[in-house]
Amino acid sequence: MSVNMQAGMVGRKVGMLTRYDDAGRAYGATVIEFADNVVTQVRTVDRDGYTAVQIGTIGDRKRTTRAQRGHLKASGQEQVSMTVLTEFRTSETDELDVGASLSVDRFQSGMYVDVTARTKGRGFQGVVKRWNFAGGPKTHGQSDRWRAPGSIGAGTSPGKVFKGKKMPGHMGNRSKTVLNQLVVEVDIARGLIFVSGNVPGPNGSMVEVRQARKRSIEPVKVVIEPPVSEEVAGVSEETAIEIEEVSISSDVEVNEQSSAKEALEVQEEISVDGEEEQS
């Protein structure tokens, strides 16, 4: 896909909340905070064979190794415990220099992003929790087979267990990318973006946010606009206003006629009731 990809950023997952747009639509959004994103290295085709940008930020660890300090010396960040270094493939390296800081203004409300993070570690789990197996039947004395995987392969043909069979094992703590997440809102003052939907990993974990590769670059409008009727679409503004005034006046006349008719019916009912009482 030949598009001009921008360099992504490394942030921290804060949590989830609900955001509303101007039309009143609710979005379950994940809050991602960005701080101290600095360009630590720029790769070029002449030197490295491809174009990419390395972004550094402060992670959970408080110390950096001597090799990391030597690498960060070129960007002027050797005194900072910048422990997270992430490389993003991009075609726009001319705008970025080593030592430049990135801000959340690179994101816009309505654009789509891909978010990469490590999922929560679940340890060693069985097939029911790991792969959503149903388990064995709970009848005929099978009291110890409720959560068992059952048979894993045929005996005669093919006489083996196929590679990739879903079995018990380690669950979680793996890198996962969620594609095409909508950016609902961008808070430049606090360095926050609100991404629609959930993001892998626990609160406080590091996430990588980059421009979506499978969606259009142009941001879409988050605000839901009212639909335009087929009668008004395709005409000039003056004609549309006249049509609207005529429709409003006709509605008023219909409402007046219906209200007058209802009043007459009520009067007739009252008169009939009065005659019955007199009789």
CB 178 within 8 A of CB 209: no
pLDDT on residue 116 = 96
pLDDT on residue 138 = 80
Q: How many structural domains compose the chain?
A: 2
* Number of Cβ atoms within 10 Å of the Cβ of 220: 12
pLDDT on residue 252 = 47
8-state DSSP, 155: S
pLDDT on residue 125 = 97
* Number of Cβ atoms within 10 Å of the Cβ of 101: 8
Does any domain span residue 37? no
Q: Which of 171, 166, 175 is nearest to 123 (CA)?
A: 171
Q: Which amino acid is at 232?
A: V
CB 114 within 8 A of CB 180: yes
Does any domain span residue 145? yes
Q: Which of 87, 124, 122, 103 is nearest to 202 (CA)?
A: 122
Does any domain span residue 150? yes
Does any domain span residue 270? yes
- The torsion defined by the Cα of 143, 149, 152 and 154, in degrees rounded to 10, comes to 40
Which residues of the chain have a pLDDT value below 70? 1-5, 61-62, 77-80, 92-94, 216-279
pLDDT on residue 59 = 76
pLDDT on residue 91 = 77
pLDDT on residue 158 = 85
pLDDT on residue 224 = 41
Does any domain span residue 68? no
Full residue range of the structural domain in which residue 260 is found: 231-279
Burial class of residue 245 (count of CB atoms within 10 Å of its CB; 0-12, 13-18, 19+): exposed
Does any domain span residue 189? no
Q: Which of 75, 89, 4, 85 is nearest to 45 (CA)?
A: 89
Does any domain span residue 133? yes
Does any domain span residue 224? no
